[in-house]
Protein backbone atom coordinates (compact mmCIF):
# COMPACT_ATOMS: atom_id res chain seq x y z
CA UNK A 1 0.00 0.00 0.00
CA UNK A 2 1.09 3.57 -0.69
CA UNK A 3 2.12 5.48 2.42
CA UNK A 4 0.17 8.46 3.75
CA UNK A 5 2.48 11.44 3.24
CA UNK A 6 0.22 14.52 3.23
CA UNK A 7 -2.32 15.35 5.94
CA UNK A 8 -4.96 18.04 5.33
CA UNK A 9 -7.18 19.39 8.07
CA UNK A 10 -10.36 21.44 7.51
CA UNK A 11 -11.59 23.45 10.50
CA UNK A 12 -15.19 24.25 9.70
CA UNK A 13 -18.07 25.95 11.46
CA UNK A 14 -19.56 22.65 12.67
CA UNK A 15 -16.61 20.28 12.89
CA UNK A 16 -13.16 19.12 11.82
CA UNK A 17 -12.40 16.93 8.81
CA UNK A 18 -9.05 15.43 7.88
CA UNK A 19 -7.72 13.68 4.77
CA UNK A 20 -4.49 11.82 4.09
CA UNK A 21 -3.00 11.55 0.60
CA UNK A 22 -0.26 9.41 -0.84
CA UNK A 23 2.63 10.96 -2.74
CA UNK A 24 0.66 10.91 -6.01
CA UNK A 25 -2.22 12.87 -4.49
CA UNK A 26 -4.58 9.92 -4.12
CA UNK A 27 -6.97 10.15 -1.16
CA UNK A 28 -6.27 7.27 1.24
CA UNK A 29 -8.71 8.20 4.01
CA UNK A 30 -11.05 11.00 5.09
CA UNK A 31 -12.73 11.28 8.46
CA UNK A 32 -14.18 13.93 10.76
CA UNK A 33 -15.54 14.92 14.15
CA UNK A 34 -18.41 17.32 14.85
CA UNK A 35 -18.12 20.00 17.52
CA UNK A 36 -21.64 19.23 18.77
CA UNK A 37 -21.24 16.94 21.77
CA UNK A 38 -17.78 18.32 22.60
CA UNK A 39 -18.84 21.87 23.45
CA UNK A 40 -19.44 25.28 21.92
CA UNK A 41 -18.38 25.83 18.29
CA UNK A 42 -16.72 29.13 19.26
CA UNK A 43 -14.50 27.53 21.93
CA UNK A 44 -10.99 27.07 20.47
CA UNK A 45 -10.35 24.22 22.94
CA UNK A 46 -13.27 22.36 21.32
CA UNK A 47 -11.61 22.66 17.88
CA UNK A 48 -8.46 21.15 19.33
CA UNK A 49 -10.34 18.25 20.97
CA UNK A 50 -12.24 17.57 17.75
CA UNK A 51 -8.91 17.47 15.91
CA UNK A 52 -7.41 15.07 18.48
CA UNK A 53 -10.43 12.74 18.04
CA UNK A 54 -10.09 12.96 14.28
CA UNK A 55 -6.38 12.08 14.32
CA UNK A 56 -7.14 9.12 16.62
CA UNK A 57 -9.81 7.93 14.18
CA UNK A 58 -7.38 8.23 11.24
CA UNK A 59 -4.68 6.29 13.09
CA UNK A 60 -7.16 3.52 13.79
CA UNK A 61 -7.36 3.09 10.00
CA UNK A 62 -3.81 3.68 8.79
CA UNK A 63 -0.34 4.73 9.91
CA UNK A 64 0.52 8.42 10.06
CA UNK A 65 4.20 7.49 10.51
CA UNK A 66 5.18 8.65 7.00
CA UNK A 67 3.29 11.97 7.06
CA UNK A 68 5.62 14.75 5.88
CA UNK A 69 3.26 17.72 5.42
CA UNK A 70 0.42 18.93 7.63
CA UNK A 71 -1.71 21.74 6.19
CA UNK A 72 -4.83 23.38 7.58
CA UNK A 73 -7.68 25.45 6.26
CA UNK A 74 -10.08 27.32 8.51
CA UNK A 75 -13.25 29.36 8.39
CA UNK A 76 -12.44 32.66 6.74
CA UNK A 77 -12.84 35.47 9.26
CA UNK A 78 -12.95 33.44 12.51
CA UNK A 79 -10.36 34.93 14.91
CA UNK A 80 -8.64 33.96 18.18
CA UNK A 81 -6.82 36.11 20.76
CA UNK A 82 -3.94 34.33 22.52
CA UNK A 83 -1.73 34.94 25.55
CA UNK A 84 2.06 34.68 25.83
CA UNK A 85 1.85 30.88 26.16
CA UNK A 86 -0.38 30.51 23.08
CA UNK A 87 -3.54 29.76 25.08
CA UNK A 88 -6.76 31.22 23.69
CA UNK A 89 -8.16 34.14 25.69
CA UNK A 90 -11.94 33.80 25.74
CA UNK A 91 -14.14 32.53 22.92
CA UNK A 92 -13.27 32.99 19.25
CA UNK A 93 -14.69 35.92 17.32
CA UNK A 94 -16.80 34.07 14.75
CA UNK A 95 -16.79 34.74 11.00
CA UNK A 96 -20.39 36.03 10.99
CA UNK A 97 -20.03 38.36 14.00
CA UNK A 98 -19.88 42.14 13.76
CA UNK A 99 -17.74 44.61 15.66
CA UNK A 100 -19.55 45.82 18.77
CA UNK A 101 -18.19 49.34 18.38
CA UNK A 102 -19.25 51.05 15.11
CA UNK A 103 -16.36 53.48 15.37
CA UNK A 104 -13.82 50.76 14.50
CA UNK A 105 -15.19 49.76 11.04
CA UNK A 106 -15.78 53.47 10.40
CA UNK A 107 -12.10 54.21 11.07
CA UNK A 108 -11.05 51.31 8.82
CA UNK A 109 -13.35 52.58 6.06
CA UNK A 110 -11.62 55.96 6.29
CA UNK A 111 -8.06 54.61 5.90
CA UNK A 112 -8.15 51.22 4.08
CA UNK A 113 -7.71 51.24 0.29
CA UNK A 114 -10.99 51.05 -1.68
CA UNK A 115 -10.53 47.41 -2.76
CA UNK A 116 -9.59 46.01 0.66
CA UNK A 117 -11.41 42.95 2.04
CA UNK A 118 -10.88 44.43 5.53
CA UNK A 119 -13.55 47.07 4.90
CA UNK A 120 -17.26 46.82 5.59
CA UNK A 121 -19.62 46.38 8.53
CA UNK A 122 -18.60 42.74 8.98
CA UNK A 123 -14.87 43.59 8.80
CA UNK A 124 -12.80 40.89 10.53
CA UNK A 125 -10.10 43.55 11.02
CA UNK A 126 -12.57 45.54 13.14
CA UNK A 127 -13.21 42.46 15.27
CA UNK A 128 -9.45 41.85 15.53
CA UNK A 129 -9.01 45.39 16.88
CA UNK A 130 -11.67 44.65 19.51
CA UNK A 131 -10.14 41.25 20.42
CA UNK A 132 -6.80 42.98 20.97
CA UNK A 133 -8.38 44.88 23.88
CA UNK A 134 -8.83 41.69 25.94
CA UNK A 135 -6.39 41.65 28.91
CA UNK A 136 -3.15 39.74 28.32
CA UNK A 137 -3.40 39.49 24.52
CA UNK A 138 -0.08 38.84 22.76
CA UNK A 139 -1.29 37.90 19.27
CA UNK A 140 -4.38 37.81 17.07
CA UNK A 141 -4.64 34.70 14.90
CA UNK A 142 -7.10 33.14 12.47
CA UNK A 143 -8.71 29.78 13.29
CA UNK A 144 -6.32 27.73 11.14
CA UNK A 145 -3.26 29.67 12.42
CA UNK A 146 -4.04 28.80 16.02
CA UNK A 147 -4.45 25.06 15.47
CA UNK A 148 -1.32 25.02 13.26
CA UNK A 149 0.43 26.91 16.08
CA UNK A 150 -0.51 24.26 18.64
CA UNK A 151 0.76 21.53 16.32
CA UNK A 152 4.08 23.41 15.96
CA UNK A 153 4.37 24.88 19.45
CA UNK A 154 4.83 28.35 17.87
CA UNK A 155 2.17 30.98 17.21
CA UNK A 156 4.00 33.34 14.87
CA UNK A 157 2.56 32.55 11.42
CA UNK A 158 -0.45 33.04 9.20
CA UNK A 159 -1.05 32.74 5.45
CA UNK A 160 -1.93 35.28 2.77
CA UNK A 161 -5.44 33.88 2.25
CA UNK A 162 -6.54 34.04 5.89
CA UNK A 163 -4.74 37.37 6.40
CA UNK A 164 -6.62 39.07 3.53
CA UNK A 165 -9.68 39.97 5.63
CA UNK A 166 -7.60 41.42 8.47
CA UNK A 167 -5.74 43.66 6.02
CA UNK A 168 -2.69 41.54 5.06
CA UNK A 169 -1.31 42.40 1.62
CA UNK A 170 -1.28 39.23 -0.54
CA UNK A 171 1.41 40.57 -2.88
CA UNK A 172 3.97 41.98 -0.41
CA UNK A 173 3.06 39.52 2.40
CA UNK A 174 3.20 42.47 4.79
CA UNK A 175 0.78 44.24 7.13
CA UNK A 176 0.24 47.74 5.72
CA UNK A 177 0.65 50.76 8.01
CA UNK A 178 -3.09 51.44 7.94
CA UNK A 179 -3.68 48.18 9.87
CA UNK A 180 -1.72 49.66 12.81
CA UNK A 181 -3.55 52.96 12.33
CA UNK A 182 -6.82 51.05 12.60
CA UNK A 183 -5.78 50.01 16.10
CA UNK A 184 -3.99 46.68 15.67
CA UNK A 185 -0.39 46.93 16.92
CA UNK A 186 2.17 45.28 14.59
CA UNK A 187 3.56 43.31 17.56
CA UNK A 188 0.25 41.40 17.76
CA UNK A 189 0.36 40.24 14.13
CA UNK A 190 1.85 36.97 12.86
CA UNK A 191 4.16 36.87 9.84
CA UNK A 192 2.33 36.28 6.54
CA UNK A 193 3.45 33.29 4.44
CA UNK A 194 2.41 32.06 1.03
CA UNK A 195 -0.27 29.35 1.32
CA UNK A 196 1.48 25.97 1.29
CA UNK A 197 4.93 27.29 2.34
CA UNK A 198 6.75 25.12 4.88
CA UNK A 199 6.65 26.73 8.35
CA UNK A 200 8.50 24.26 10.57
CA UNK A 201 8.39 20.86 12.28
CA UNK A 202 5.62 19.62 14.56
CA UNK A 203 6.21 20.30 18.25
CA UNK A 204 5.38 18.46 21.47
CA UNK A 205 1.60 18.75 21.13
CA UNK A 206 1.69 17.64 17.50
CA UNK A 207 3.79 14.60 18.44
CA UNK A 208 1.45 13.80 21.34
CA UNK A 209 -1.49 13.95 18.91
CA UNK A 210 0.15 11.21 16.85
CA UNK A 211 2.11 13.08 14.17
CA UNK A 212 5.60 11.77 13.40
CA UNK A 213 8.80 13.74 14.15
CA UNK A 214 9.52 14.25 10.43
CA UNK A 215 6.22 16.07 9.76
CA UNK A 216 6.37 19.73 8.74
CA UNK A 217 3.47 22.14 9.23
CA UNK A 218 2.75 24.24 6.12
CA UNK A 219 1.04 27.61 5.85
CA UNK A 220 -2.66 27.05 5.28
CA UNK A 221 -5.55 28.76 3.55
CA UNK A 222 -9.25 29.57 3.91
CA UNK A 223 -12.10 27.05 3.62
CA UNK A 224 -13.19 28.54 0.29
CA UNK A 225 -9.75 28.32 -1.31
CA UNK A 226 -9.24 24.77 0.01
CA UNK A 227 -12.59 23.67 -1.47
CA UNK A 228 -11.52 25.07 -4.83
CA UNK A 229 -8.17 23.23 -4.74
CA UNK A 230 -9.91 19.99 -3.71
CA UNK A 231 -11.68 19.85 -7.08
CA UNK A 232 -8.38 19.58 -8.96
CA UNK A 233 -8.78 22.94 -10.70
CA UNK A 234 -5.22 24.18 -11.22
CA UNK A 235 -4.83 26.11 -14.49
CA UNK A 236 -5.50 29.79 -15.19
CA UNK A 237 -9.05 29.88 -16.57
CA UNK A 238 -10.19 26.83 -14.55
CA UNK A 239 -13.36 27.61 -12.62
CA UNK A 240 -15.58 26.00 -10.00
CA UNK A 241 -19.31 26.69 -9.70
CA UNK A 242 -20.86 25.80 -6.35
CA UNK A 243 -24.58 25.02 -6.67
CA UNK A 244 -25.46 24.89 -2.98
CA UNK A 245 -27.90 27.14 -1.17
CA UNK A 246 -26.42 30.00 -3.18
CA UNK A 247 -24.75 30.08 -6.59
CA UNK A 248 -21.03 30.84 -6.22
CA UNK A 249 -18.46 31.09 -9.02
CA UNK A 250 -14.68 31.03 -8.54
CA UNK A 251 -12.06 31.40 -11.28
CA UNK A 252 -8.29 30.97 -11.21
CA UNK A 253 -6.89 34.12 -12.84
CA UNK A 254 -3.49 35.52 -13.72
CA UNK A 255 -4.88 38.97 -12.93
CA UNK A 256 -5.89 40.28 -9.51
CA UNK A 257 -9.40 41.76 -9.27
CA UNK A 258 -10.87 43.62 -6.32
CA UNK A 259 -14.44 44.82 -6.71
CA UNK A 260 -16.00 45.11 -3.22
CA UNK A 261 -19.45 46.14 -4.54
CA UNK A 262 -19.64 42.64 -6.07
CA UNK A 263 -18.00 40.95 -3.11
CA UNK A 264 -15.03 40.12 -5.36
CA UNK A 265 -11.58 39.84 -3.76
CA UNK A 266 -8.45 38.14 -4.98
CA UNK A 267 -7.06 35.28 -2.97
CA UNK A 268 -3.47 34.41 -3.84
CA UNK A 269 -2.91 30.75 -4.73
CA UNK A 270 0.48 29.78 -6.07
CA UNK A 271 1.44 32.42 -8.60
CA UNK A 272 -2.20 33.18 -9.39
CA UNK A 273 -5.38 34.68 -7.95
CA UNK A 274 -8.68 33.10 -7.06
CA UNK A 275 -11.47 35.54 -7.97
CA UNK A 276 -15.21 35.07 -7.77
CA UNK A 277 -18.58 36.18 -6.56
CA UNK A 278 -21.78 34.88 -4.98
CA UNK A 279 -25.32 35.39 -6.31
CA UNK A 280 -28.40 35.29 -4.07
CA UNK A 281 -29.91 32.84 -6.56
CA UNK A 282 -29.29 29.09 -6.22
CA UNK A 283 -30.59 26.03 -4.41
CA UNK A 284 -32.40 27.92 -1.66
CA UNK A 285 -34.55 29.52 -4.39
CA UNK A 286 -35.35 26.06 -5.81
CA UNK A 287 -36.36 24.80 -2.36
CA UNK A 288 -38.51 27.91 -1.82
CA UNK A 289 -40.30 27.59 -5.19
CA UNK A 290 -40.68 23.81 -5.48
CA UNK A 291 -39.94 22.13 -2.13
CA UNK A 292 -37.34 19.46 -1.51
CA UNK A 293 -39.72 16.55 -2.23
CA UNK A 294 -40.41 17.56 -5.82
CA UNK A 295 -36.86 18.23 -7.07
CA UNK A 296 -36.12 14.66 -8.17
CA UNK A 297 -39.34 14.24 -10.18
CA UNK A 298 -39.03 17.67 -11.79
CA UNK A 299 -35.38 16.94 -12.65
CA UNK A 300 -36.40 13.73 -14.44
CA UNK A 301 -38.72 15.77 -16.68
CA UNK A 302 -36.14 18.32 -17.88
CA UNK A 303 -35.79 18.76 -21.67
CA UNK A 304 -32.48 20.57 -22.18
CA UNK A 305 -32.91 20.13 -25.96
CA UNK A 306 -36.14 22.21 -25.79
CA UNK A 307 -35.40 25.70 -24.35
CA UNK A 308 -38.48 27.31 -22.77
CA UNK A 309 -37.74 30.83 -24.00
CA UNK A 310 -38.64 32.14 -20.51
CA UNK A 311 -36.35 34.94 -19.35
CA UNK A 312 -36.27 34.54 -15.58
CA UNK A 313 -34.02 35.97 -12.88
CA UNK A 314 -34.82 33.57 -10.00
CA UNK A 315 -34.65 35.17 -6.53
CA UNK A 316 -36.84 34.65 -3.48
CA UNK A 317 -36.85 38.38 -2.68
CA UNK A 318 -35.48 41.67 -4.00
CA UNK A 319 -31.71 42.20 -3.87
CA UNK A 320 -28.71 40.79 -5.69
CA UNK A 321 -24.95 40.89 -4.97
CA UNK A 322 -23.32 39.37 -8.06
CA UNK A 323 -23.17 39.58 -11.11
CA UNK A 324 -25.22 42.75 -10.47
CA UNK A 325 -24.87 44.61 -7.20
CA UNK A 326 -28.22 46.17 -6.32
CA UNK A 327 -30.09 45.76 -3.01
CA UNK A 328 -33.34 46.66 -4.81
CA UNK A 329 -32.87 44.26 -7.77
CA UNK A 330 -36.22 42.55 -8.49
CA UNK A 331 -36.81 38.81 -9.07
CA UNK A 332 -38.19 37.99 -12.53
CA UNK A 333 -40.41 34.86 -12.53
CA UNK A 334 -43.23 35.86 -14.91
CA UNK A 335 -45.03 34.70 -16.96
CA UNK A 336 -45.61 31.44 -15.08
CA UNK A 337 -46.59 28.55 -17.35
CA UNK A 338 -49.35 26.14 -16.26
CA UNK A 339 -46.91 23.22 -16.42
CA UNK A 340 -44.61 23.15 -13.35
CA UNK A 341 -42.05 21.12 -15.33
CA UNK A 342 -41.67 23.99 -17.80
CA UNK A 343 -41.55 26.50 -14.92
CA UNK A 344 -38.76 24.47 -13.24
CA UNK A 345 -36.75 24.33 -16.45
CA UNK A 346 -37.23 28.10 -16.93
CA UNK A 347 -35.88 28.72 -13.41
CA UNK A 348 -32.80 26.54 -14.07
CA UNK A 349 -32.25 28.31 -17.41
CA UNK A 350 -32.38 31.62 -15.51
CA UNK A 351 -29.74 30.36 -13.06
CA UNK A 352 -27.57 29.19 -15.97
CA UNK A 353 -27.85 32.71 -17.38
CA UNK A 354 -26.76 34.18 -14.00
CA UNK A 355 -23.79 31.79 -13.87
CA UNK A 356 -22.72 32.62 -17.45
CA UNK A 357 -23.14 36.36 -16.77
CA UNK A 358 -21.05 35.93 -13.60
CA UNK A 359 -18.14 34.44 -15.52
CA UNK A 360 -18.53 37.11 -18.21
CA UNK A 361 -18.43 39.80 -15.49
CA UNK A 362 -15.14 38.43 -14.12
CA UNK A 363 -13.68 38.49 -17.61
CA UNK A 364 -14.94 42.06 -18.19
CA UNK A 365 -13.22 43.11 -14.96
CA UNK A 366 -9.97 41.74 -16.39
CA UNK A 367 -9.75 38.13 -15.20
CA UNK A 368 -8.21 35.35 -17.30
CA UNK A 369 -10.70 33.96 -19.84
CA UNK A 370 -12.76 30.96 -18.70
CA UNK A 371 -11.52 27.62 -20.07
CA UNK A 372 -13.21 24.94 -17.91
CA UNK A 373 -15.88 24.56 -15.23
CA UNK A 374 -16.11 22.02 -12.39
CA UNK A 375 -19.30 21.85 -10.34
CA UNK A 376 -19.82 21.11 -6.65
CA UNK A 377 -22.82 21.23 -4.28
CA UNK A 378 -26.31 19.75 -4.29
CA UNK A 379 -27.13 20.93 -7.84
CA UNK A 380 -24.08 19.25 -9.39
CA UNK A 381 -25.89 15.90 -9.64
CA UNK A 382 -28.66 17.34 -11.84
CA UNK A 383 -27.72 16.13 -15.34
CA UNK A 384 -30.41 18.16 -17.12
CA UNK A 385 -29.29 21.37 -15.44
CA UNK A 386 -25.68 20.51 -16.30
CA UNK A 387 -26.67 20.22 -19.97
CA UNK A 388 -28.47 23.59 -19.87
CA UNK A 389 -25.45 25.21 -18.22
CA UNK A 390 -22.96 23.66 -20.58
CA UNK A 391 -24.94 24.89 -23.61
CA UNK A 392 -25.02 28.41 -22.16
CA UNK A 393 -21.42 28.60 -20.91
CA UNK A 394 -19.71 26.81 -23.78
CA UNK A 395 -16.45 25.59 -22.21
CA UNK A 396 -15.62 21.99 -21.20
CA UNK A 397 -17.21 20.77 -17.95
CA UNK A 398 -14.78 18.61 -15.97
CA UNK A 399 -15.30 16.19 -13.07
CA UNK A 400 -14.25 17.26 -9.54
CA UNK A 401 -11.64 15.17 -7.81
CA UNK A 402 -13.13 15.87 -4.39
CA UNK A 403 -15.59 18.19 -2.65
CA UNK A 404 -13.78 17.90 0.69
CA UNK A 405 -11.90 21.05 1.71
CA UNK A 406 -9.47 18.91 3.77
CA UNK A 407 -8.34 17.24 0.53
CA UNK A 408 -7.56 20.68 -0.93
CA UNK A 409 -5.56 21.58 2.19
CA UNK A 410 -3.60 18.31 1.96
CA UNK A 411 -2.90 19.08 -1.70
CA UNK A 412 -1.50 22.48 -0.80
CA UNK A 413 1.03 20.87 1.55
CA UNK A 414 1.87 18.06 -0.84
CA UNK A 415 2.88 20.53 -3.53
CA UNK A 416 4.30 23.07 -1.08
CA UNK A 417 2.25 25.95 -2.44
CA UNK A 418 2.70 24.98 -6.05
CA UNK A 419 -0.89 23.68 -6.13
CA UNK A 420 -2.65 25.77 -8.77
CA UNK A 421 0.74 26.84 -10.07
CA UNK A 422 1.38 23.67 -12.01
CA UNK A 423 2.53 24.47 -15.56
CA UNK A 424 -0.38 24.92 -17.94
CA UNK A 425 -0.83 21.83 -20.03
CA UNK A 426 -1.85 22.16 -23.64
CA UNK A 427 -5.64 22.54 -23.85
**Please, which residue, 196 or 377, has the CB nearer to ligand ADP?**
377
CB of 282 to ligand ADP, least distance (A): 7
How, if at all, do strands 247-253 and 272-279 pair?
A: antiparallel
Query: Could you give phi then psi for residue 9, rounded to 5 degrees?
Result: -130, 125
Mutual angle of helices 143-152 and 44-61, in 10-degree steps: 60
3-state secondary structure of 217: strand
CB of 385 to ligand ADP, least distance (A): 6
- Alpha-carbon gap, residue 394 to 353, rounded angstroms: 12
**Please, which residue, 5 or 348, has the CB nearer to ligand ADP?**
348
CB of 9 to ligand ADP, least distance (A): 20
CB of 12 to ligand ADP, least distance (A): 11
**Please, which residue, 37 or 291, has the CB nearer to ligand ADP?**
291
CB of 283 to ligand ADP, least distance (A): 2
Q: Can you spell out the DSSP letters for 248-316?
A: EEEEEESS---BGGGTB--EEETTEEEEEEEES-SHHHHHHHH-GGGHHHHHHT--TTS------B--S
Residue ranges binding ligand ADP (CB under 6 A): 244-245, 283-284, 286-287, 295-296, 299, 377-379, 382, 385
**Please, which residue, 278 or 367, has the CB nearer to ligand ADP?**
278
**Please, which residue, 290 or 329, has the CB nearer to ligand ADP?**
290
CB of 137 to ligand ADP, least distance (A): 34
- Alpha-carbon gap, residue 122 to 115, rounded angstroms: 15
CB of 295 to ligand ADP, least distance (A): 4
**Please, which residue, 304 or 377, has the CB nearer to ligand ADP?**
377
**Please, which residue, 206 or 377, has the CB nearer to ligand ADP?**
377
Distance set, CA 166 to CA 7, 163, 208, 279, 329 (Å): 27, 5, 32, 24, 30
Residue nearest to ligand ADP (CB): 378
CB of 377 to ligand ADP, least distance (A): 3
Mutual angle of helices 103-111 and 124-131, in 10-degree steps: 120
- Alpha-carbon gap, residue 101 to 79, rounded angstroms: 17
CB of 379 to ligand ADP, least distance (A): 4
Inter-residue contact 153 to 87 (CB < 8 Å): no
Q: Is the peptide bond before 323 cis (omega within 30 degrees of 0)?
A: yes
**Please, which residue, 314 or 377, has the CB nearer to ligand ADP?**
377
- Counted residue by residue, the chain has a size of 427
* 231: Cα separation from own chain's centroid: 12
**Please, which residue, 158 or 375, has the CB nearer to ligand ADP?**
375
Residue of 227, 221, 271 lying closest to 250 (CA atoms): 227
- Cβ–Cβ contacts within 10 Å for residue 338, how many? 6
Amino acid sequence: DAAAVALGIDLGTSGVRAAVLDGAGNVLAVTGTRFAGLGAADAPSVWWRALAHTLDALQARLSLGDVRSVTLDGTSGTLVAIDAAGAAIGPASMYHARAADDAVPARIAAIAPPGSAARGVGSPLARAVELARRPGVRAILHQADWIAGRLRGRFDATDANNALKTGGDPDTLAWPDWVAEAGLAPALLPAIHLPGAALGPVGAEGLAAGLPPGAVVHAGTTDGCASFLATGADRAGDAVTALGSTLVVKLLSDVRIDAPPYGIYSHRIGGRYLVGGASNSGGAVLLGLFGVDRLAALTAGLRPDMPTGLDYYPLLRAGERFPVSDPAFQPRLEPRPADDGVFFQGVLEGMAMIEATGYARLEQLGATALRSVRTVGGGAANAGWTALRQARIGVPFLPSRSEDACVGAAFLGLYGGAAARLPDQAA
